Amino acid sequence: MEYIRLGRSGLSVSRLVLGTMNFGSQTSETDSHAVMDRAHEQGVTMFDTADAYGGRPGEGVTESIIGKWFATGGGRREKTVLATKVYQSTGQGPNDGGLSALHIRRAVEGSLKRLRTDYIDLYQMHHIDRNTPWDEIWEAFGVLHRQGKVLYFGSSNFAGWHIAQAQEAARSRHFLGLVSEQAIYNLMSRWAELEVLPAARHYGLGVIPYSPLHGGVLSGVLRKQREGGAVRSGSGVWAAAFAERRASVEEYEKLCADLGEDPAHVGLAWLLAQDGVTGPVIGPRTVEQVDGSIRALGITLDEGTLARLDEIFPAPAPNGAKPAPEAYAW
């Protein structure tokens, strides 16, 4: 396993992040515990979750599964950089969601109880809250920091200008502010390169890409279809993305075959090669999938391969070929 600082902070994290969204919905508690054990065995130290995960809104099912795993001892909590999120609705009341000081206080207490820990390493805003002023948010977070309940703060699904707003407001309060942004980012969805990644680099945030394989579309979907295997991207938005860009996926899988590598591993390796990326969030449902993801760390994509991937899945380039955000400054 490789390790890297999380943005400009002094916190070291693994270059692969264990995503736990499947725990409690697609993966049983027993299997979830096995996945977390194997992640630790492979050197994965950063675990990402949210109070909304688990398939039953308001119950924090996934956090509870992780908390039970921590409670089994063996230094599991101490070896884990624990990240969870706040914003989503946790009940039916008018203050049971968002980023008000009241909801933040209630949400963090609920997460700490379910996770069976007295502190959270990285507390992430799951979405922007356009109805709550930044002074209120940072004041509430400052209280949690002084109480020792949260060590670092991050964002998720923020636009570049949201990151700027957050950081400038934190600076005015002499507060460290955000150290990370969790964004959807992969070869098929490169919109984050327009402003989110430049903003994150400017302010010293580590970028944690989620959906690194675009819902399974980049995991070798065509090969799996030929082999008669289960295809995760067979429905919903992922199916539409596959249908729209089937020709590109065909070229991608051919390139991966020429490299002698699994498409899923190449997709992760490409993210690991991007400037500012801390580590992609992997979402294994089995122990075997944990082991498979580790292979990405051993893949070095040369300049020719990176250029070919840019041809297959071009980066968004408004106003010509200049890289963003300078592309707008004509």
**pLDDT above 60: residue 188:** yes
Per-chain mean pLDDT for the chain = 92
Mean of the pLDDT values across residues 1-21? 97
At 203 the three-state DSSP class reads: helix
More confident residue, 321 or 132: 132
Say if residues 192 and 185 touch (Cβ distance below 8 Å): yes
Res. 318 pLDDT band, cuts 50 70 90: low
Residue 320 has a pLDDT of: 59
**pLDDT above 80: residue 198:** yes
The secondary structure of 179-243 as a DSSP string is EEEEEE-BTTB-GGGTTHHHHHHHHTPEEEEESTTTTTTTTTHHHHHHHT---TTSSHHHHHHHH
**pLDDT above 90: residue 258:** yes
221, with CB counted inside 10 A (0-12, 13-18, 19+), is buried
The 10s digit of each residue's pLDDT in 289-314 is 999 999 999 999 999 999 999 999 99
Query: In angstroms, rounded to a whole number, what is the distance separating the alpha carbons of residues 14 and 104?
Result: 27
Question: Choosing from 3, 53, 185, 252, which is the catalytic residue?
Answer: 53
Is 53 catalytic? The answer is yes
Res. 231 pLDDT band, cuts 50 70 90: low
Instruction: Walk me through the domains of the chain, giving residue ranges and CATH numbers.
Output: 3-215+274-302 (3.20.20.100)
Mean of the pLDDT values across residues 165-188? 97
pLDDT more than 90, % of the chain? 82
Mean of the pLDDT values across residues 145-150? 98
At 82 the three-state DSSP class reads: strand
Structure tokens that stand for 166 in this block: 């957050």
